[in-house]
Structure 1
Amino acid sequence: MDEGARLPRAARAHLPRAVCRTAPEGRAVITIVCLERDAVGARFRAPDLPHRWIEYPATEQADVAERLAGAQVAIINKLRLGEAELAALPDLRMVAVAATGADNIDLAACRARGIVVSNVRGYAVDSVPEHALLLMLALRRRLLDYVADVRAGRWARCENFSFFDHPIVDLAGSTLGIVGHGGLGQGVARLGTAFGMRVLLAERRGAAVPRSGHTAFDEVLAQADVLSLHCPLDDATRGLIGAAELARMRPSAILVNTSRGGLVDEAALADALRAGRLAGAATDVLSAEPPRDGNPLLAPDIPNLIVTPHVAWASAQAMQRLADQVIANIEAYAAGAPRNRLY
């Protein structure tokens, strides 16, 4: 075991480097640097190629270029790789993203330098939809409110066998609007259908005519009892749900976001919940993570709001699939047949 592994996490994060695996002498070696090892709670198997593996439990943004110096392959999760970092890394040939979203990477700059960027796909097709459905159920059945009341002794003091202070609404028979119909959106649609929900797939905002099987974006906002977001964050989707969109939704509706925090105007959502213009909301993501400088959705006075710490993707099975796919992407690149390329 590397000696640094015995140190506390905060100390280990600043180790110069941890060399875990090396290649046989005399063979060409690819240096692979994993900058955010603790961001994935699963084992990375050894790549089937001559390599030198260096990993850091965590990395500060200011240290990215220094730690990747000399590396041919970078494994990153949420750290930013922009023009400034890439310009300082002439040896870099591949970025293996330990995630699906890659809004933290300057893809145009990578393309201009011939750097392959590969992400992981489909690893959370069970985990994220299950978490989204969990949030829907918790909101509609007011789970946290009833749990809090019981813990506060309310049930023990109740004159009746039960109490119904928080209105409960079934998912069955309600309309589920889904924005983004990739693998995760499709998974949520399947679960919603199994629960007896009517599913509407939203067309892209601003599209003149909806595609077959899709409904105009604004119409989905108006009809949905539950609106669930499953699209990537890019220039077209940033701020997708703002004050105007929230105003088009039913006051009895709820919003669920297990995609990216930047899809939602968080201050507008907090205002809508406080004013009763929306019945509830749940988000697994925030615009800045971790929210060290606070966030409008972390205020203690917002009713019927659930915030979870970006764990929808993090079932044990999903994390292992992610780790395995990262290594498979690196092996494919080394074999001259890159896969899961983002351009």
Structure 2
Amino acid sequence: MTEYPPSNDSITSDARQAPCDAEKKQVVFLDAETMDLPSLNTSALDKLDAEVTLYQQTHADELVERIKNADAVLVNKVVLQAKDLQQAKQLRYIGVTATGMNNIDRDYCEKADITVQNVEGYGTDSVAQHTLTLALNLATNFVAYQRDVRNQAWSASSHFCLLNHPVVELAGKHAVIVGHGELGKRVEALFKAMGMQVSIAARPGKQDDPRPHLESLLPNADVISLHCPLTEDTDKLINADTLSLMKPTAFLINTARGGLIDEEALYYALKNKQIGGAGLDVLSVEPPPVDHILLKETLPNLLITPHNAWTGKGARQKLLDSAIAHLSAHLSSCLSDPQG
């Protein structure tokens, strides 16, 4: 593709004739803007045996019209509910360009024989790097010192350095990780490389997990890093009760899902300096409203990034390549099942 359309416009790629059907399969990417495709190698997308239409964004009132004739859909965060999917009579495949699938009515898809396929593991390095970045920024008060330099506080200092913000060495400190999949293991390795002691908390809701429960680890934790999915067992896992167990110097890191944290409870814990700080890459509502409780005022012990831990170029390329490979395999299956 040589041109990327402005928001809400679409572009249709020329692709080879589907080998098992007189008509090309119709593939629709509902929110291609979330991938920043112009920065990636899209040759695999161009070579699909299908007619591919890319929409930068898709709003709720545009959804049915865009999927009603689709055989397959690629989607990142657009919500696909049963009432909309029912209008897509040809739809047999939904490829999620993410790991989480909370935006898809999977119960309906199972009943309607629609395959839902996500992508796992693509962002391990990117998210782990971001997790460590948040922890290091909190430990070194990096943002505060950078602000002091810009505000000429260093230039006005009577000494060669500034010492007005505390700096913590992570070496020797205790990190607690919640969620020990591929990403949690990578973060564990990075923390250990920094000389930290690492404990892995039991999986929330899993009664037979022999590892220590989170509540028993929090009183001695210097860094708590969340890498678990959002489920009924993990919803508001970090709340007023768990925050009350933490050290006043503890740092909380969340690069997983915003709903893991009771944001109102966190706001008061930070404002009252009940904990040392928090570094968040996710919030419960994204994009957040301007009056979001964690955004309505500047808290010096809070760092928030705009859900971009996963966006390393290498990670996005892996994500695109994997999503297209899954889709291509689905399309190729019509060789043995022409009705597929």
TM-score by length of 1: 0.90
Q: What is the rounded CA distance, in whole Å, between the counterparts of 2:151 and 2:320 in structure 1? A: 42
Cα deviations by residue, 1:165-216 (Å, 9 ceiling, x for unpaired): 11111111011111111111111001001111111111023544533xx321
Deviation at 1:28, TM superposition (A): 4.1
Q: Which residue of structure 2 lines up, in the alignment, with residue 261 of structure 1?
A: 258
Contact kept in structure 2, 1:155 and 1:163, CA below 8 Å: yes
Q: Is residue 157 from structure 1 mapped to residue 171 from structure 2 by the alignment?
A: no
Contact kept in structure 2, 1:37 and 1:55, CA below 8 Å: yes
Q: Which of 214, 218, 221 does residue 221 from structure 1 map onto?
A: 218
Q: Which of 332, 336, 341 does residue 333 from structure 2 map onto?
A: 336
Q: Which residue of structure 2 lines up, in the alignment, with residue 340 of structure 1?
A: none
**Letter of the structure 1 residue corresponding to residue 195 of structure 2:** G
State the aligned residue count.
328
Deviation at 1:304, TM superposition (A): 1.1
Q: Which of 232, 235, 240 does residue 238 from structure 1 map onto?
A: 235
Q: Which of 264, 269, 280 does residue 272 from structure 1 map onto?
A: 269
Q: Which residue of structure 2 lines up, in the alignment, with residue 288 of structure 1?
A: 285
Q: What is the rounded CA distance, in whole Å, between the counterparts of 1:126 and 1:261 in structure 2? A: 20
Could you say what secondary structure the match of 2:131 adopts?
helix
Q: Which residue of structure 1 lines up, in the alignment, with residue 120 of structure 2?
A: 121
Q: What is the rounded CA distance, in whole Å, between the counterparts of 1:250 and 1:115 in structure 2? A: 48
Q: What is the rounded CA distance, in whole Å, between the counterparts of 2:252 and 2:231 in structure 1? A: 20
Q: Which of 23, 34, 39 does residue 34 from structure 2 map onto?
A: 39
Contact kept in structure 2, 1:22 and 1:53, CA below 8 Å: yes
Q: What is the rounded CA distance, in whole Å, between the counterparts of 1:132 and 1:243 in structure 2? A: 23
Change (3 A) 1:142 1:255: same
Change (3 A) 1:120 1:278: same
Structure 2 runs not aligned, ≥5 long = 335-340
Contact kept in structure 1, 2:15 and 2:47, CA below 8 Å: no
**Letter of the structure 2 residue corresponding to residue 30 of structure 1:** K
Change (3 A) 1:176 1:83: same
Q: What is the rounded CA distance, in whole Å, between the counterparts of 1:308 and 1:158 in structure 2? A: 31
Q: What is the rounded CA distance, in whole Å, between the counterparts of 1:307 and 1:324 in structure 2? A: 29
Q: Which residue of structure 2 lines up, in the alignment, with residue 252 of structure 1?
A: 249
Could you say what secondary structure the match of 2:315 adopts?
helix
Change (3 A) 1:143 1:2: closer
Q: Which residue of structure 2 lines up, in the alignment, with residue 24 of structure 1?
A: 17
Contact kept in structure 2, 1:97 and 1:119, CA below 8 Å: yes
Could you say what secondary structure the match of 1:64 adopts?
helix
**Letter of the structure 2 residue corresponding to residue 204 of structure 1:** R
Change (3 A) 1:222 1:335: farther
Moved more, 46-55 or 88-97: 46-55
Contact kept in structure 2, 1:48 and 1:331, CA below 8 Å: no
Q: What is the rounded CA distance, in whole Å, between the counterparts of 2:303 and 2:138 in structure 1? A: 8
**Letter of the structure 2 residue corresponding to residue 57 of structure 1:** Q
Q: What is the rounded CA distance, in whole Å, between the counterparts of 1:146 and 1:81 in structure 2? A: 44
Deviation at 1:2, TM superposition (A): 7.7
Q: Which residue of structure 1 lines up, in the alignment, with residue 129 of structure 2?
A: 130
Moved more, 216-225 or 177-186: 216-225
Could you say what secondary structure the match of 2:124 adopts?
coil
**Letter of the structure 1 residue corresponding to residue 242 of structure 2:** E
Q: Which residue of structure 2 lines up, in the alignment, with residue 64 of structure 1?
A: 63
Contact kept in structure 2, 1:227 and 1:253, CA below 8 Å: yes
Q: What is the rounded CA distance, in whole Å, between the counterparts of 1:335 and 1:220 in structure 2? A: 49
Cα deviations by residue, 1:110-155 (Å, 9 ceiling, x for unpaired): 1111111111111111100000000000001100011111111111
Q: Which residue of structure 2 lines up, in the alignment, with residue 201 of structure 1?
A: 200
Contact kept in structure 2, 1:103 and 1:234, CA below 8 Å: no
Contact kept in structure 1, 2:126 and 2:315, CA below 8 Å: yes
Could you say what secondary structure the match of 2:185 adopts?
helix
Change (3 A) 1:207 1:117: closer
Q: Which residue of structure 1 lines up, in the alignment, with residue 298 of structure 2?
A: 301
Could you say what secondary structure the match of 1:160 adopts?
coil
Contact kept in structure 1, 2:170 and 2:196, CA below 8 Å: yes
Q: What is the rounded CA distance, in whole Å, between the counterparts of 1:176 and 1:67 in structure 2? A: 46
Deviation at 1:90, TM superposition (A): 1.7
Q: What is the rounded CA distance, in whole Å, between the counterparts of 1:336 and 1:23 in structure 2? A: 16
Q: What is the rounded CA distance, in whole Å, between the counterparts of 1:38 and 1:53 in structure 2? A: 15
Q: What is the rounded CA distance, in whole Å, between the counterparts of 1:170 and 1:241 in structure 2? A: 25
Moved more, 129-138 or 48-57: 48-57
**Letter of the structure 2 residue corresponding to residue 100 of structure 1:** T
Deviation at 1:217, TM superposition (A): 1.7
**Letter of the structure 2 residue corresponding to residue 221 of structure 1:** L
RMSD, matched Cα: 1.9
Deviation at 1:300, TM superposition (A): 2.3
Deviation at 1:108, TM superposition (A): 1.1
Contact kept in structure 2, 1:178 and 1:200, CA below 8 Å: yes
